Amino acid sequence: MKNILVGIIIALSLLLVWAITVWQPSGIHSPLGLAEAPRGGDFTLQSPDGPLALRDLKGKVVLLYFGYTFCPDICPTSLGFTSQALVSLDKTEQEKVKMLFITVDPERDTLDKLKAYTAYFHPSIMGLSGTPKEIAQVAKLYGASHSKQNTASAGGYVVDHSAYTYVIAPDGSLFKALDHGTPPAQVLEAIRAAMKQG
């Protein structure tokens, strides 16, 4: 009886490991890797308040993320973790940080939609958009990848994309790229370390 119980526990453990590492339920997708090594650089895209250039934010730590509002799982997780880090900053620190959410789905993500979506997570997050060509140029600077995949979902397609959060130092240089799922405490640590670079 004891051997049977041990066997069941081992089988359940193996099943759990397989579920975590291999199986992905429909509707859930894994982030893509980087297309190339990120080098960073200045850019200008459209915000709900008009054109915004990275250089306009000189003196602040900028968190940069590529995603889209219809994203079912990856973007909410990343933005949720980042917003937890942002609320952990004191008021003076918060004034020195800005997050930019660049859509990889400009076809559906209007500026109004981006504004409502980002405000849900944190008031210092701003959505940016542009033409597909403009977005591709910015993505190339940061090695970000994205690819439209047609599905039978109500939206008609999903956009697979890399899910790194880029930490940009106050001087505009790329400080660090954080992996998807980086815990809030580590995001907070990276923000504070980048502040010291400026």
CATH of the domain at 97: 3.40.30.10
142, 175 Cβ separation under 8 angstroms: no
Report, as an integer, the average pLDDT of 119-148: 93
Is residue 1 included in any domain, yes or no?
Answer: no
Enclosing domain of residue 165 = 40-195
Per-residue pLDDT at 157: 83
> Can you read off the two tokens belonging to residue 153?
């979902």
Is residue 17 included in any domain, yes or no?
Answer: no
Per-residue pLDDT at 156: 77
Q: Is residue 16 scored above 50 in pLDDT?
A: no
Whole-angstrom distance, CA of residue 23 vs CA of residue 16 = 10
Per-residue pLDDT at 184: 96
Whole-angstrom distance, CA of residue 121 vs CA of residue 108 = 19
Segment 66-110, tens digit of pLDDT:
999 998 889 999 999 999 999 999 999 999 999 999 999 999 999
Report how far apart, in Å, the C-alpha atoms of 137 and of each of 3, 65, 104, 191 are: 60, 14, 12, 25
